[in-house]
Structure 1
């Protein structure tokens, strides 16, 4: 479909808070690594156009995860291979032998997607590149590939250092995409790899598994109690349609990941809430694990290596159903906000929670006249924001016994993205069917649903609205919804609504950019 948005206004959709490259195409985050005070974000990038193709590793750096500086393309495709997704590590022991005295190499582990013209036509295998100048320039390993199964769909290696009782070694987590299998290998030097085990789970037969990650987290902040989290992105088959990202909680003994059924993290929804969210049982169709995000536009999320004492992830903010069609000018796609990941025990089950990393407010809009008094069915105007600006809305309220309430972000009147809380059904939804430009693809207009845990009978929302996106964090990040939106109106109006009386304890609108 052809978008109705005028070409001259499309750059108004460039986000203030979210990373985008200056021009051309962007998708999966790759090689996230922290080294000597610098966060490195690599990503799938087409240096030559605004659609998918010519996959190379783009590069950006930051010292605070908030402000990013775009760097030159790090690893460029050529006639023999495209540079697909992967990871990067700090090889502090120079185990691969790429560094000289006093030099700590950064090593990228990526998928070589070999072309028909290569010696490995259509094969996907794992390769290395290294940097001896802190990530500025990269050299491909002369012995590539280092792990070749002769497969056309073996990809997306995530590598981390594992400390075993007999000594440390590298672990690679990759996928056989069409077989829906995560494969684990080990190596002492990043070059020679030995198979360990694999992991699979239930799901439709016609989907791909991509972009795995595996890491250990403390439970409830207690370092003596930990669990392992396995991330897998799926396409199609996402909970909201198209692409999406699942997670599993379990154990890892250095060789094998085993999901713990007692930690099945789709919990926290009553039967009515499950039906409201379009699910059968806690996840729908009896699926194990849970969803990292319940929206349409959060995919390929992976975490930083080299970052001590915390786990931070970044995901791609789009959906393969329509990613090539979004109505922007000269650039396409953005990253979601970085999120700090933790594990919390809720109703006796271990759950994953996500906390957004965002800048401090430059000013706060006073909404105090709405606090402490019942708000009823009429809409209450809270604030107006200039077109293309970014804001954060925080709201806490006792869960009402009946009815719904929520927020509308849009031009007022009939245009707006609507976030609705249905406490009785234990569900939250984001409706973008009238959010602005929705006609550029038939699958874009949608309504997303997420489960809502009632913690102490209260509702807590933290919502980030940028030029082309809405990210909802409910109940301290136990449920999140991420959706693109392309508003037409100016300015953006923020309104509160309720179908019956609701007393709000906190309601703050903060300008962030």
Structure 2
């Protein structure tokens, strides 16, 4: 569904982010662009707004900003919960679920088998197929198709590999508690052969979940193709709780070899900040990418929440949003391949509310200064800041006077911070009030930030998308001030533009 205008009964319903109408959601699943439509499936409790009864919800969009909610796609039953997975378009009907003229969509998902079922207590991989472009699904009668006898084997992401080793399906799944991504191959999606295992490596402070494997050209050069392996973990993120990390390297059709591993085996806690994080904020988890996006674009969405407090956030009747979709690309930065992320969607088609607020070449004096005519609850903020004598400086968004969510820079520490201790309702869980940070350097002496503010979130993109931070916030609906601030000195606003969306 599209987010309705916020009311006092539904203050936090976002305008730019997907939420289920009146139920719980978590991990995005089965992301695919098919027949001109983006399909977002997701972990869903169809009957409540806390985790449970795991099934696949379903929403569609043509612009990645306006979503239509559909009936539950794949439902749990007395034998299994439907955990995370992926969808492929089986164009050549290798699975035999369709025909040559009407090939199927095939969902590969984790069956979490319930006590008393034939595989009680195990997690194994199963299939469902759709012959109507993803709106209705039929479970394969011979499920599961891949069973390792494990209670923690889950979250299959399936891709089509075409390379020197041949052409076949490849599955990346996890042995969650072993911090391993396990790779399998198949010719028909029904029969799977083990290929290799990656991990443990880098961050291992919590179980590994929701892997993804895909190629990206380095520095936009198709001749310099690299492979990216992403894997989420909970807990163990850089600012506590849930998070996602990535590795860059080579995949030869059998083995993924990382060129960016910092720590082999279990993590070194002292090196946590050296690992490559998809997002440094508290609320970016289970990120996976869309299949079959035109022009080989790689688009990714994550669940905007954190398992530390996920079931307790103060929203009703729904609970949990998705992040904005992000287009990701791979670039050489300081001699290393690194992901760049930019929010994507048809923002140009959104109705702007009032005049764009602009400011340039303005010094920020010590203190907090509300910007007249800049207030709003749904905004894009673009700002360039140059440090002066202040120990910290930046913006306060969704504020009420000097109180609100601070997005700031501490130049001496070379960090970006999001401080949500005064962001509104923070006492629903002891882990929620926080000051979170990410390493960030200047670009030619200044800091560039793009911030998407919504009714319950901020998403910060720094250094052109090299560093991102995603955080939930729960301000009063009347807290709409935007302010600039400096602590212990001054800083300069080179450029500030605020676009109001609602």
TM-score by length of 2: 0.93
Confirm whether residue 303 of structure 1 aligns to residue 289 of structure 2. yes
Q: Cα deviations across residues 227-264 of structure 1 (Å, max 9, x unaligned)?
A: 11111111111111111111111111111111104x86
Assess if the C-alpha contact under 8 Å between 2:38 and 2:61 holds in 1: yes
Assess if the C-alpha contact under 8 Å between 1:156 and 1:174 holds in 2: yes
Confirm whether residue 325 of structure 1 aligns to residue 312 of structure 2. yes
CA distance, structure 1, for counterparts of residue 374 and residue 135 of structure 2? 38
Assess if the C-alpha contact under 8 Å between 1:44 and 1:57 holds in 2: yes
Confirm whether residue 411 of structure 1 aligns to residue 410 of structure 2. no
Residue 294 of structure 1: which of 280, 288, 297 is its match?
A: 280
CA distance, structure 2, for counterparts of residue 416 and residue 306 of structure 1? 40
Aligned match of 1:193: 192
Aligned match of 1:377: 366
Q: 1:496 to 1:204 in 2, by over 3 A?
A: closer
Aligned match of 1:5: none
SS in 1 for 2:464: coil
Aligned match of 2:496: 507
CA distance, structure 1, for counterparts of residue 244 and residue 237 of structure 2? 7
Q: 1:191 to 1:385 in 2, by over 3 A?
A: farther
Assess if the C-alpha contact under 8 Å between 1:367 and 1:382 holds in 2: no
Q: 1:284 to 1:413 in 2, by over 3 A?
A: farther
Aligned match of 1:208: 207
Residue 458 of structure 2: which of 458, 466, 470 is its match?
A: 470
Assess if the C-alpha contact under 8 Å between 2:204 and 2:233 holds in 1: no
Q: Which 10-residue stretch deviates more, 160-169 or 74-83? A: 160-169
CA distance, structure 2, for counterparts of residue 264 and residue 36 of structure 1? 41
CA distance, structure 1, for counterparts of residue 58 and residue 114 of structure 2? 23
Deviation for aligned residue 1:491 = 4.0
CA distance, structure 1, for counterparts of residue 74 and residue 89 of structure 2? 17
Q: Which 10-residue stretch deviates more, 156-165 or 485-494? A: 485-494
Assess if the C-alpha contact under 8 Å between 2:390 and 2:490 holds in 1: no
Confirm whether residue 234 of structure 1 aligns to residue 221 of structure 2. no
Confirm whether residue 334 of structure 1 aligns to residue 321 of structure 2. yes
Which structure 2 segments of 5+ residues have no match? 1-6
Q: Cα deviations across residues 434-489 of structure 1 (Å, max 9, x unaligned)?
A: 10000101111111100103222221100011010011111111111111100025
Aligned match of 1:450: 438
SS in 1 for 2:316: coil
Deviation for aligned residue 1:36 = 1.2
Aligned match of 1:155: 154
CA distance, structure 1, for counterparts of residue 501 and residue 461 of structure 2? 17
Deviation for aligned residue 1:226 = 2.1
CA distance, structure 1, for counterparts of residue 9 and residue 471 of structure 2? 18
Deviation for aligned residue 1:366 = 4.8
Q: Which 10-residue stretch deviates more, 47-56 or 423-432? A: 423-432
CA distance, structure 2, for counterparts of residue 385 and residue 440 of structure 1? 29
Which structure 1 segments of 5+ residues have no match? 1-7, 266-279
Assess if the C-alpha contact under 8 Å between 1:436 and 1:489 holds in 2: no
Assess if the C-alpha contact under 8 Å between 2:42 and 2:57 holds in 1: yes
* Larger relative contact order, structure 1 or 2 (CA cutoff 8 Å, min sep 6): 1
Q: 1:390 to 1:245 in 2, by over 3 A?
A: same
CA distance, structure 1, for counterparts of residue 396 and residue 8 of structure 2? 23
CA distance, structure 2, for counterparts of residue 80 and residue 199 of structure 1? 31
Aligned match of 2:216: 217
Deviation for aligned residue 1:89 = 0.6
Instruction: Show structure 1 runs of 4+ deviating over 6 A.
Output: none
Deviation for aligned residue 1:55 = 0.2
Confirm whether residue 105 of structure 1 aligns to residue 95 of structure 2. no
Q: 1:30 to 1:341 in 2, by over 3 A?
A: same
Assess if the C-alpha contact under 8 Å between 2:64 and 2:325 holds in 1: yes
Q: Tell me the C-alpha RMSD between the 2 structures.
A: 2.1
SS in 1 for 2:11: helix
Deviation for aligned residue 1:73 = 0.6
Aligned match of 1:352: 339
CA distance, structure 2, for counterparts of residue 10 and residue 432 of structure 1? 23
SS in 1 for 2:371: strand
Q: Cα deviations across residues 121-147 of structure 1 (Å, max 9, x unaligned)?
A: 111000000000001110011111110
Assess if the C-alpha contact under 8 Å between 1:401 and 1:423 holds in 2: no
SS in 2 for 1:372: strand
Q: Cα deviations across residues 356-412 of structure 1 (Å, max 9, x unaligned)?
A: 1242361465544x412323224332356777x411110013344763210001332
Tell me the matched-pair count: 488
